[in-house]
Homo-oligomer: A and B are copies of this chain.
Amino acid sequence: MPQGKPAYVPDDGLTTRQRRNRPLVMVNTGDGKGKSTSAFGLALRGWNQGWSVAVFQFVKSAKWRLGEQSAFEALGGLHESDGTGGAIEWHKMGSGWSWSRKAGTDEDHAAAALEGWREIQARLADERHGLYVLDEFTYPINWGWIDVDEVVETLADRPGRQHVMITGRRADPKLIEAADLVTEMTKIKHPMDTGQKGQRGIEW
The complex places the Cα of A181 from the Cα of B70 at a distance, in Å, of 24
Given A71-B48, A181-B191, A188-B184, A199 and B21 touching (CB < 8 A)?
A: yes
Q: How far is the CA of A44 from the CA of B100 in the complex (A)?
A: 28
Interface flags for A167-195 (1: CB within 8 Å of B; 0: not) read 00000000010011111111111111111
Please measure, in the bound complex, the distance between the C-alpha atom of A42 and the C-alpha atom of B36, giving whole angstroms: 10
Using C-beta atoms within 8 Å of the partner chain, give the interface range for chain A: 35 or more
Cα–Cα distance between A7 and B68 once the two chains are bound (Å): 26
- The quantity of this chain's copies bound in the complex is 2
Cβ of A185 and Cβ of B183 under 8 Å apart?
yes
Q: Establish whether residues A1 and B60, one from each chain, have CB atoms under 8 Å apart when the complex forms.
A: yes
Q: Does A153 contact B (CB under 8 A)?
A: no
For A22, give the chain B residue with the smallest CB separation: B196
B66 near A45 with CB under 8 A, answer yes
The answer to the question of A59 belonging to the interface, with a C-beta cut-off of 8 Å to chain B, is yes
Given contacts A46-B201, A180-B189, A186-B30, contact A78 B74 (CB under 8 A): yes
Pick from B16, B163, B176, B199: contact of A188, CB below 8 A: B176
Inter-chain contact B188/A182, CB cutoff 8 Å: yes
Q: Which residues of B contact A6 (CB under 8 A)?
A: 192, 194-197
A86 nearest CB across to chain B (Å):
9
**A179–B45 Cα gap in the complex (Å)?**
28
Residues of B within 8 A of A203 (CB): 2, 4
CB-CB under 8 A from A75, the residues of chain B are 71, 74-75
**Cβ B42 vs Cβ A200 within 8 A:** no
Contact yes or no, B47 A67, CB < 8 A: yes
A20 touches B (CB below 8 Å): yes
In the complex, which residue of chain B has the Cβ closest to the Cβ of A192? B6
Shortest Cβ gap from A84 to chain B (Å): 6
Q: Determine the chain B residues whose CB is within 8 A of the CB of A176 once the complex forms.
A: 188-189
A130 and B201 contact, CB distance less than 8 A: yes
Q: Once the chains are docked, how many angstroms separate the CA of A23 from the CA of B195?
A: 14
